Amino acid sequence: MIVKICGITNQRDATAAIAGGATAIGFNFYPRSPRYIPPEQAAEITSPPGVRRVGVFVDVAPALIEQIARTASLDVAQLHGAETANGYPASLPVWKAVRVGPGFDFVCFRDCPAEALLLDGPAGELFGGAGEPFDWKLAIGAPKPIIVAGGLDASNVALAVALAHPWGVDACSRLESAPGKKDNRKMTDFLRAAREALGR
């Protein structure tokens, strides 16, 4: 199971997330994001073996993703753009982010080679961290493992898990005191609720 805290920008928040039970931490490499972190700075944020380091990318060439992955010691590329399978990096697993809205279905993702689909709510130009949930019942029937994101916190993660039956969950903006700065209490409460809901 995946319990991910995204938008990590500093060691303090990464350490607190991992201590609270996060199994993955996310770094946003989209330059227009308020949670953007340079790869070199992400590389300085340490994490123990077994905690997945996930990079958020938007329409970045595979070769550059792989270069950043080496610099920041990434384990997963989370792709939020219009990438097709030809645009996936060859050297690390991909979580393909998908915005879910009315009328959504999985038809075009049946043959997607991603390890998982990260289902997100509407985010405008933010590409992660907008804090908007989607109808979790739309996740039913996914052709591969899913990670539910978008508007999750301690108050609703159990319901999201009950309705969507995901492989994992991912939270960001609702756990912050400011963009890129986590509120330790909100994060700890979310991690506890998420782990209980996922049976971890």
Q: Which residues in 55-79 are b (16+ Cβ under 10 Å) and which e?
A: bbbbebebeebbebbeebebebbbb
Query: If you search the block for the tokens 């019942």, which residue do you land on?
Result: 137
Backbone phi, then psi, for 186, in 5-degree steps? -60, -40
Query: If you search the block for the tokens 């998908």, which residue do you land on?
Result: 98
β-strands 146-148, 76-79 pairing: unpaired
- Of 13, 111, 112, 120, the catalytic one is 120
Q: What is the DSSP letter of 175?
A: G
The burial class, CB within 10 Å (0-12 / 13-18 / 19+), for 110 is: exposed
Q: Kindly tell me the sign of the dihedral angle through the C-alpha atoms of 16, 161, 119, 62.
A: positive
Report the distance separating Cα 193 and Cα 200, nearest Å: 10
Amino acid in position 115: E
Report the distance separating Cα 120 and Cα 42, nearest Å: 23
Any catalytic annotation for residue 108? no
Any catalytic annotation for residue 120? yes
Looking at the annotation, which residues are catalytic?
A: 6, 120
